[in-house]
A and B are shown apart, each in its own frame.
Chain A
Amino acid sequence: MNCRLPIALTLLLASVLAWAGEQAEFSVVTEAGNRLHISSDLSPLTINRIHSWQLRLTDADGAPVTGAQFEVLGGMPEHDHGLPTRPEVTAELEPGVYLLQGVRFHMPGRWLLEFGMSLGEDIDGAAIEIEL
């Protein structure tokens, strides 16, 4: 977490921050102007349950962005620790729709999640905040 912090902070500053609350669906415009729509299979979001998210990545015109490679980092800034798990995108379920597995939160409070995306030669980023 710590060695990745500068990259994560840059990513955060460059991206549009979304405030998600406990809702299980949220949407954010990425640094490169794409849209990342996130829906959780656990609704409402609660602590201490491992679950999956679907990430729908579209461009500004709403067309699916395929073949993206994701890196998902996160943690609780107030507590200076990262996520309790290491979530991974394990499949592209349909064009532009990615399965993120292994998401779990283990404390109530403010969580920050950062999505790094490699799109061929390009990189993109987005961040969301969740209050649990």
Chain B
Amino acid sequence: MNKRISAIFLLIAAAVLVWLLAPPPLPERWTESETALISSLSLSALPPLPPDSSNSAADDERAAALGHRLFFDPRLSANGAVSCASCHRPELSFTDGLPIAVGTGPGRRHTPGLIGTAYSPWFYWDGRRDSQWAQALTPLETHFEQGAGRTAIVRLLASDPDYKTMYEEIFGSLPDPARLPESASPLGDEPGRRNWRMLDPDLRFKISSAFANAGKSLAAYQRKLLPGRSRFDDYADAAAIPQGDTHHRPGDTLSRDEIAGLDLFIGAAQCVNCHNGPLFTNHDFHNTGILPVLGQLPSVGRFDGVRLARDDPFNCLGEFSDAAPGQCAELRFARFDNELTGAHRTPGLRNVTLTAPYMHTGQMGTLAEVLQHYDEAPTSMLGHNEAKPLGLSSRQLRQLEAFLHSLEAAPAAAAEWLRPPQH
């Protein structure tokens, strides 16, 4: 009797083992619509970088060189120790590996990567800025990020001989640093704000223009940080060529698990609804029921972000923008209603496996946790969760994670842009 029970037990255990380890069934071949969807995710479908009409220096090589130096310069901070690169570290796909950024003080949000972000119409997790240059300016004046203040940045540009030469070749003359108070900023502490108010309006405008140009140079540099081709891209391009009856051909660059993960990604798991296009993001905002960090109130996200973007003096419609109003469609026609409550920006997924932790305040340490979250689609604490429960098996979740590994690739940027400038 005991032998029979043991045999049955062993049989069941073997069946479970086979179920867990056996290669998953794959569809016979991709359908026409699946092939089109897969092709739409390939880097080959990425259009040339669109011009940034709000930044006349966006594609100026001299501005990129200046921006490169500024990006890695810790003198652009109140304590002289924090550069853009302190949080956007090139070796971590321009993230920092921390749940929440640490600048001159503890931050509020998780540091997003920068590769390919020049394609986005919106910046920050809540889209509070509408251009890469307006984004680049914000940490410079935010007290817990770099907090240098507006005049401090312009004084540095005007007093460092290299910066002064580089800047004036592109943008013309800088204000005389002797006329600028050491600390004055409309967003600074009370003494800094008082100093700012006491400045002549014309000088304030000149300082803000020069400050904006620093941001435009930082943006020109960041436009160089483009994504490189991954194993997935080679697979996607091959899948687009009709060859025989099966999509899993010898020489495929993806494993069976990765292909099964791709099948889920564009199908049952519905990831492609938001993580679409060659950068795996629709650059938009969604409430997916992400819980706040324990003890914190949930973030209202885009609901606040769109208001902040509209109020930003450095936005596309502002006096420091180089765009005509007709070129600011994203800002002019931005949606603003309650449906955006709790919505945060869809991050791109290229190199996502290298940029833990995840979500706007780094709530999730691993991709497995992220995938589990989307499988469950819990009720949102604020607004409503757009996602629906998926009911995937643990094996399917592992396959999705395997697929995400196929998106790893070195950036398609010259090596010099990925390290501090050599003086």
Contact = CB atoms under 8 A, between A and B. Distances in A.
Interface stretch (A29-37, A53-61, A83-91, A121-129): A83-91
A79 B335 contact: no
A109 B273 contact: yes
Contacts of A107: 273-274, 276, 282
Given A80-B386, A108-B276, A50 B333 contact: yes
A48 interface: yes
Contacts of A86: 333-336
| Chief secondary structure at chain A's binding surface | loop
Interface string B17-36: 00000000000000000000
A2 B341 CA distance: 13
A47 B282 CA distance: 8
Interface residues of B, number: 23
Contact of A108 (B272, B337, B384): B272
A82 interface: yes
B112 interface: no
A93 interface: no
B202 to A, nearest CB: 34
6 contacts: A48-B277, A80-B386, A101-B329, A106-B283, A107-B273, A108-B273
Interface range, A side: 20 to 34
A64 interface: no
Contact of B333 (A1, A2, A80, A88): A88
Given A1-B339, A48-B277, A107-B274, A81 B334 contact: no
Given A2-B339, A108-B37, 17 more contacts: A1-B337, A48-B282, A50-B329, A80-B384, A81-B386, A82-B335, A82-B337, A84-B282, A84-B335, A88-B333, A102-B329, A102-B333, A106-B276, A107-B274, A107-B276, A108-B273, A108-B276
B328 to A, nearest CB: 10
A8 to B, nearest CB: 14
A26 to B, nearest CB: 20
